[in-house]
Structure 1
């Protein structure tokens, strides 16, 4: 496709004059845009586009005229592969230019979204190694052109980047040879002991299970008490948020990975519209899978604002949320980035609170985690139990870990990152189905910190048992993956994070699924304590072993009931406190999900079980009480 470079008449003095003169906007609208520019220091073009006054394409066509250059629509232009091979796609996106083709006179045609200058031209000529001719295009056109031209490289980096960088940190391989050998030795040893000394083996195994279960539960109890005593997450006040001027705020990128979410996409865009952040400094990337045409169509039909950009993720396995987020991270222009799920309703000031928290913290703080809770708490018994669990976890457990300086496993949403630090960490592991928890632990091992803020994102709790088990089994499988990944090199985690943090990691990431897996055996031991004298199997379990099992069951359940009550009390959902007594039944659901997770870890470790959203009717408010 040819571009004819021709002389352009001298434009009016300013872009504003051009827009008003041609009737694109009114003089009053221009004055308001200039007032906003003076108050925020933002670019006039960004203000006009994000306010919906001017279309991006129209603005850049006028900019081309003002700059005295032709405009080039890159929509159907194929960039010359031999020129692209010399450049890193990340640098092109950040620099705002791409090489289009080599002209007959040997010059390189460059499409730019930034104002030309002699200094900029010199830098580009140095990069391409030849004289250049410049044309103007939009910033989004550059992104899309790079996306098309580097498609295979982008998806390869999003999928295999962490694996190539450090195979030991990736869950692509479930077990290393040393781990498989160790598990085999343990299994053979246990079987041999069971044959040779069944009573002693069962007694010893029961005690090991009981002690580990008790320590794991008490660890959570102590951490939650610490979180209740030290409300570090309450440190950001409304006054501090109000003191932030728009001119002080950086560009913030919001990544929203969605898959088969056509039924909630319109609500999602409405929820994100409520964020209290300058539109011209907010970048929302809607990450949609290439084969999910239904969601893509629904998103287009919803007519999103100019702050929302579609990023189509190439159809390639594994089809996971972290792979989509890695693709989105490549295009992120913000200083900070946050992840939101399709059904999320973040509190409006959450981004500003995160900015305050990052500026207070040192550079070692890579992530700020907001609390998660549910807006459909009263749907049924399952949503009530789910809400109790999340309340104690995010309101007490994570603040307690933060206060103790222990590794924090991130939630799947509302985690805010420093973009550069996140790229340094290698992004998300697309082979880990709880990429969030893994990333939090990886950050700790590499010497970074994760903290929490007093802001809540409200989600939709699973109201259907089958849907809940699918989601929970994926989470538990991901915890097991994370445990195996970070135990491959024990010295690395101890050296990077320290002994205290390493033990915390084992108790939390290993202890959580282990507690669920051990619940049925403890229930069996409890049953045996009632009928052991009348059953032959009772001879293998001494009375003191049975009593210790009963003690474990009672203390463990009482502790978790108390923690659930704490969560209800903190959120002032007092009507839920009695529901915490149903926690033993809720733990049996966890046990079912845990055994399913263990089976899937063996049979299909990287399979991402999709959670169905939109099962509940959304209320008019977020239900923040």
Structure 2
């Protein structure tokens, strides 16, 4: 049976006759479709001029094909192949039902040559007929048909394929044995030769403190001299051909964050990228009815889709992202948080950098910083910390080829590589840091792009402790997972990469735990005199410890000031002098993290968003129709 091919002009004429389209919308959509190399219908839907349902209904009437409502009449499960899910999404079609001797395929565009070729290849022995449906109907039908399978894959795919790379098991038996041996030797040493053991242990910690300071200084020096600021120029962005830009998937995982949802939608609308080539997934938990209803109430353009993640354990952001990944259509994919405000050209910069990079560059990390940096002590210190982290340390890691612990947002991936690698570990509560290390182990590289995403710094003490303890717990998980086979890790990362991993992922956690002991020792020396401490620690150890305390802290303060100065935030520089007080909070969070690692390793501490006055002002500005903070 010959398929009647839809004529867009006839579809548009019907919509105009029904007074659902304005002439100006049509003119704009024609120009966009030509520039973007998309259909006029896609351009109209992307701009919100028409809904998916209205376009499909008009298209069905203009072609004489039936309209398939896949929500009211779901596809026959026997016709659906779970291995073809990506094809269904990419081509916008689903085998719907059998009528007599004909197989009816529901498609967004039944006239598509790609759809016809795929159907002829996969159903060569069948008589094929076509129906018109919408992208939303296909997504809904796939979620309902494969939600159990997709949920299982989101939770267990990495563990099933590579259990040694999953944090589902927190500590292996060999690691437990190693810990018990170490503690036993320490206890025996303290009983048999307490002074020698104390000197040896303190000397070891002091030595590694010095190496940690030196490594951070090296990273900052290398990051400062490697010119990341011109990694993608404005001329490169302008030279990109809109016709050749690929579909880009944007994942926005949220849980009970309906109050900040308008910020992200506003930011996506401001992106300098063809809207018809954006595939935006609002990734929401099924039981989060408040955010789901808030997302529906926005009545956003057709590029926005709601992905409902089935309720299961672990209930974590990486599991939600894994689930949504099964429904992604883009060649590239990025993760944003709900309150994020990425710079408008970030997607184009990522595409430009991917195109000129070798295939083994699998991920591009944008820099993160905060729009509410001057709100209180915590937001100022958070901003200073992130400025140093993303503007100096991560570029330094990239140059030295040390695994880069990714930030929790604004990670841009080649979608195929992400799928092949097993995506995120749903059992690791800093899934981003873990994924950065796994990418490096697999032979891929992470690059840093000169684009910033601004988000809300956590300025509420209790929420800050919760968030930071989750990060530290995740770093513990990441270190434990990748140190299950130390020699294998060494062979894959090399000398610099292996020790860089120790000093950037493992040792900072240890310092947060040990710092209170060192501070207490220093306080004892001040209160009771140096003689009281010298009975326990010999002079060389005390001298090294004092060097670390004075010179090391001074270096950290200086490097933090330099990071603030680089961005022109000179008013924040004096606050770097209060860094020691900030590190006290790190130690509080570290002890909470190690307790949770034992009793609740996979528990996700929810970060409270929307508390900033700047966020409230931005929301008010968006509601009022202005551009808000950027």
What TM-score do the two structures reach when normalised by structure 2? 0.93
- Higher mean displacement: 91-100 or 71-80: 91-100
Segment of structure 1 superposing worse, 212-221 or 171-180? 212-221
Tell me the residue number matched to 2:104. Answer: 109
Are the structure 2 counterparts of residues 365 and 570 from structure 1 closer, same or farther at C-alpha, using a change threshold of 3 Å? same
The residue number in structure 1 matching 2:297 is: 301
Contact 2:369 2:454 in 1 (8 A): yes
Q: Distance in 1 between matches of 2:111 and 2:294?
A: 38
After superposition, the C-alpha distances for 1:80-130 in whole angstroms (9 at most, x for unaligned) are 333335654333323322223344x35433222232478855643553564
Give the Cα separation in 1 of the matches to 2:3 and 2:469.
Answer: 65
- Match of 2:326, SS state, is helix
Partner in structure 2 of residue 326 of structure 1 = 322
2:263 match = 267
Q: 1:462 aligns with which of 455, 458, 464?
A: 458
Quote the residue 1:135 is aligned against. Answer: 131
Name which of 526, 544, 567 aligns with 1:530. Answer: 526
Using the TM superposition, give the Cα deviation of residue 544 of structure 1 relative to its aligned residue in structure 2, in angstroms: 2.5
Name the counterpart of 1:559.
555
Give how far 1:404 is off.
2.1
State yes or no: 1:378 paired with 2:374.
yes
How far has the Cα of 1:320 moved from its partner?
Answer: 0.7
Structure 2 counterpart of 1:63? 59
1:76 and 2:72 equivalent?
yes
1:147 alignment partner, one of 120, 143, 147 = 143
- Counterpart CA distance in 1 for 2:31 and 2:114 is 30
Q: Distance in 2 between matches of 1:385 and 1:13?
A: 58
- Give the distance between the partners of 1:264 and 1:12, measured in 2 at CA: 38
Is 2:585 the partner of 1:585? no
Relative distance call for 1:163 and 1:266 in structure 2 (3 A) is: same
* CA–CA separation in structure 2 for the residues paired with 1:14 and 1:223: 61
Q: Take 1:439 and 1:12, find their aligned partners in 2: how far apart are those partners?
A: 44
1:324, CA displacement in angstroms? 0.9
- The superposition leaves residues 472-521 of structure 1 with CA deviations (integer Å, 9 ceiling, x where unpaired) of 00001001100011111223323333222111111111022122112112
Cα distance in structure 2, aligned partners of 1:164 and 1:327:
16
Give me the whole-angstrom Cα distance separating, in 2, the residues matched to 1:86 and 1:15. 33
Bigger shift: residues 189-198 or 301-310: 301-310
Counterpart of 2:164 (choices 136, 146, 168) is 168
Q: Which runs of 5+ in 1 are unaligned?
A: none
Alpha-carbon deviation of 1:402? Answer: 1.6
Corresponding residue for residue 245 of structure 2 = 249
- Cα deviation, 1:215-249, whole Å, max 9, x if unaligned, reads 11221111011111122243222222222232232
> Is 1:483–1:509's contact at 8 Å kept on the other side of the alignment?
yes
CA contact (8 A) 1:473 1:597 kept: yes
Helix, strand or coil for the counterpart of 2:106? strand
Q: Does 1:218 align with 2:214?
A: yes
Cα distance change of structure 1 residues 466 and 570 upon mapping to structure 2, 3 Å threshold: same
The Cα shift of 1:13 comes to 6.4
RMSD, matched Cα: 2.4
1:401: which partner in 2?
397
1:418-462: CA deviation from partner (whole Å, max 9, x where unpaired): 111111111111110001111111101101010111111111111
Does the aligned pair in 2 maintain the 1:232–1:403 contact within 8 Å?
Answer: no
**TM-score, scaled relative to structure 1:** 0.94
Contact 2:206 2:541 in 1 (8 A): no
- What CA distance in whole angstroms lies between the structure 2 residues aligned with 1:107 and 1:217? 71
Q: Which deviates the most, 470-479 or 39-48?
A: 39-48
In structure 2, runs of 5+ residues without a counterpart are: 619-626
Number of equivalenced pairs: 619
1:522–1:553 CA contact under 8 A, matched in 2 = no
Match of 2:542 in 1: 546
Partner of 2:440: 444
Deviation at 1:537, TM superposition (A): 6.7
Deviation at 1:585, TM superposition (A): 1.0
Shift of 1:623: 7.0
SS at match of 2:526: helix
How does 1:566-605 map onto structure 2 within 5 Å? 566-605=562-601
Is 2:491 the partner of 1:495? Answer: yes
Residue 278 of structure 1: how far off its partner (Å): 1.5
What is the CA–CA distance in structure 2 between the aligned matches of 1:179 and 1:39, rounded to whole Å?
A: 57
- Distance in structure 2 (CA, Å) of the matches to 1:464 and 1:525: 31
Q: Please list the CA deviations of residues 30-84 of structure 1 after superposition, one character each: whole Å capped at 9, or x if unmatched.
A: 3332222222222211111112222211212233344442111111223333333
Larger displacement relative to structure 2 (489-498 or 407-416):
489-498
Q: Distance in 1 between matches of 2:353 and 2:7?
A: 45
**339, 342, 367: which one pairs with 2:335?**
339
Give SS of 2:402's match.
coil
